[in-house]
Structure 1
Amino acid sequence: MILREGSKLVYHRLAWKEPFAPHLLQVLYEDDDMVALNKPSGLQVLPKGIFQQHTVLAQLQWKEWKMPPSRCSKRKNVQLHPVPVHRLGRGTSGLLLCAKTKLAKVQLASYFAEGAANAEKKRDETEVGKERKISKFYRALVTGILEHDEDVVTQPIGLVHYPGVAEGLYVACSSGKPAMSKVCVLERLAHQNQTLVQVEIHSGRPHQIRIHLAYIGHPLLDDPLYCIGGQPKFHDLESTSTDISFAYDGGYERPLQPVPGDCGYHLHAHWLVLSHPTTNKVMRN
């Protein structure tokens, strides 16, 4: 029908039914400015797609954070604003840094932004490392045996069209944005044809570790999406159409091909070093 001025349009959506997700968040460190959480694999950080309430952000907002009276009297303009300041993939476990105030959020976000900017400059890795105010270290279990004890991967990461992912899929791409990962071998498991590695990322591109390790020929063990070369396991991207029929939960049917949010790979955010957003003291969690 043709709507007239003053008409109201009401949309009755089906009741939302989110899939199960683990919800226990262990607090590893907390002060007046920030909190470091141990995120389980399977829990999404920010709302997206079929996960709107089963997220880290929702849990942060539900929790009743209390500011010490002494802090409130000294800083009247302190505003509680609990929010993650970086992301971990839904299938990635481990340390997630969150701000508790707007001031801390701005400061910590600037650390990550500076790190990404430095990764784009034509500098050697030592100089870049000295300038960074936050460094993140991951542990990953990859397929195959790495030959060298250390390796620096600088493959750019960019977007390509991919069915089921509206904004596109991040892959190893020569026309993408600069990215840098430092890979160190921790243990070679020859009898299992696997290697345990530590990865320090000097930039924060989406799925960077998964893509970089796959690019050098050692994808994460059981990664459902990325294969050798840093490309998706499904290659015939043009011939597949996405089923857009409505699903039982009111959303759309799940894509038939693997998507970035799928779990199963072995990646853990192990520890980080940063300058405290208020005191500027160097901390290691």
Structure 2
Amino acid sequence: MSSNDTDTTHFPSLASFGEPWPEFNDGLTYRDLVRSPDSGLTLIDFYTRKHQTSAPSLGWLQRIENGQITVDGTVVADPHTVLRTGTELVYHRRPWKEPYAPYFLEVLFEDDHLIALNKPSGLQVLPGGLFQQRTVLTQLQWRIRNQELCPAPVHRLGRGTSGILLCAKTKLAKTRLAALFADKTSAVVGNRKIDNEVNKVGKMSKIYRALACGIINEDEIVIDQPIGTVKYPGVAKGLYVASPSGKPALSKVHVLKRDVQNNLSVVQVEIQSGRPHQIRIHLSFIGHPLIGDPLYLTGGKPQLSVSETIDEAFAEDGGYHRPANPVPGDCGYYLHAHQLVLHHPMTNEVVKITAPLPPIFLRHESGE
């Protein structure tokens, strides 16, 4: 560590914030501009072709006839309206009741540039799918209403994952932190101290706790299985899975306790950088998926066979029904982002942040 660095450890405080969610969200608006290749299409043809993953054709017909689409600012309920180049289309998604989500967030560390939160399981980080308002981002925006600040998470945790979520409060901090998270170079820490490794490679170290199925015989395992995507119903951009042709990923697993009675292992998993769902996929790949994981059960692949057929039935708002198969956002598994060590993007201090373990981890680690 250089003479300009300060090793600063931040332990959890009692500070927390959060506002209860309203019963209905504010709905959404989606804008499109008709380009020359689409000139001459009818309104129903445009939406069916351009946004087929949002709703089947009958769903878009329902939305048009409900008056949810405007053409150059005027509601148009005729699906056969012919469109011209330069026309502005706006689809108005009506307010809806979002599924239950917790809203209290504990502040683990905060200064003028960063805020680190202890995210509860069940709370989504950024808007997506059914969760457009009930997110960490919304609570941050409600808490920090100064327009000069732009509080935003700089990485994601799965909705079912709890623990440390690092957020930036300024544009400069966000840019510098994004550069750290974008660096996908992985390194095995070995037996060296984490802060020395962070100082050496100039990155960050992330440590998780997890409850894995079965008894892991080895004390330590290094998993370097690449992670890629496959087509999967309900996941528009593809599902992340263990794939020989995927991108490099590295996880170091250390067994903390073997609970023979409950046939599970309490593990610590360290990653220098992360692919989406990396820990869930890697532990599943070695035959020890997370306890309660509804999606990844064996071999780093989804538990169910992948069907490429599309269900043409639609929900009340015209969109597709929720996928029958499990999807990545489903909860039920036990994964906790426990510790984060990084160089502060503005001060260059080595900052260690720890999120207290949820009760279920404490019970299994103590043998109760």
Gaps of 5+ in 1: 68-78
Alignment match, 2:175: 106
Over aligned residue pairs, what C-alpha RMSD do you find? 2.2
Residues 62-117 of structure 1: per-residue CA shift (max 9 Å, x gap): 213569xxxxxxxxxxx411000110000001111111111111111111122x1x
Deviation at 1:15?
A: 3.0
Q: Deviations over 1:98-155 (max 9, x none)?
A: 11111111111111122x1x13xxx765598641421111000000011111111000
Q: Write the deviation string for residues 26-77 of structure 1: whole angstroms up to 9, x where unpaired.
A: 111111110110111111101111111111111111213569xxxxxxxxxx
Seen in structure 2, the aligned counterparts of structure 1 residues 124 and 40 have a Cα distance that, compared at 3 Å, is closer
Match of 2:311, as an amino acid? D
Distance 1:8 1:204 in 2: 39
Deviation at 1:249, TM superposition (A): 4.7
- The correspondence of residues 154-233 of structure 1 with structure 2, limited to 5 A, is 154-233=224-303
Whether 1:257 and 2:332 are equivalent positions in the alignment is no
Residues in 2 aligned to 1:8 and 1:269: alpha-carbon distance in whole angstroms: 44
Which of 135, 138, 141 aligns to 2:208? It is 138
Secondary structure of 1:80 counterpart: coil
State the match for 2:101 in structure 1.
21
Is the CA contact (8 Å cut-off) linking 1:134 and 1:274 kept in structure 2? yes
Aligned partners of 1:15 and 1:249 also within 8 Å: no
- Look up the match of 1:42: 122
- Alignment partner of 1:52 is 2:110: no
Provide closer, same or farther for how the CA distance between residues 149 and 132 of structure 1 changes in structure 2, counting only shifts above 3 A. farther
Bigger Rg over Cα: 2
Q: 1:244 to 1:16 in 2, by over 3 A?
A: farther
Deviations 1:251-271 (A, max 9, x none): 421001000000000101111
Higher mean displacement: 17-26 or 140-149:
17-26
8 A Cα contact 2:144 2:151, kept in partner: no
Q: 1:75 maps to which residue?
A: none
Alpha-carbon contact 1:179-1:202 (below 8 Å) kept: no
Residue 37 of structure 1 contacts residue 96 of structure 1 at CA under 8 Å; is this kept in 2?
A: yes
Question: Hey, what's the Cα distance between the residues in 1 that align with 2:252 and 2:131?
Answer: 32
**Uncovered stretches (5+) of structure 2, i.e. residues with no partner:** 1-80, 354-368
Distance in 2, matches of 1:7 and 1:161, equals 33
* Match of residue 11 from structure 2: none
Task: Output the CA distance in 2 between the equivalents of 1:7 and 1:38.
Answer: 45
Q: Distance in 1 between matches of 2:143 and 2:154?
A: 17
Report 1:59-74 matches (<5 A).
Answer: 59-64=139-144
Equivalent pairs, count:
267
- CA–CA distance in structure 1, aligned partners of residues 126 and 134 of structure 2: 9
Question: Is the Cα–Cα contact under 8 Å of residues 296 and 302 in structure 2 kept in the other structure?
Answer: yes
Instruction: Give, in angstroms, the shift of residue 250 of structure 1.
Output: 5.1
Q: Are the equivalent residues in 1 in contact too, given 2:161–2:337 (CA < 8 A)?
A: yes
Contact 2:205–2:273 (8 Å) recurs in 1 = no
Percent identity, aligned pairs only? 63
Counterpart selection for 1:83 from 132, 152, 170: 152
The separation in 2 between residues aligned to 1:136 and 1:46, in whole angstroms, is 20
> In the superposition, relative to structure 1, how do residues 59 and 244 fare at CA in structure 2: closer, same or farther (>3 Å)?
farther
Which amino acid in structure 2 is aligned with residue 170 of structure 1?
Y
Q: 1:167 to 1:250 in 2, by over 3 A?
A: same
CA distance in 2, matches of 1:189, 1:222: 16
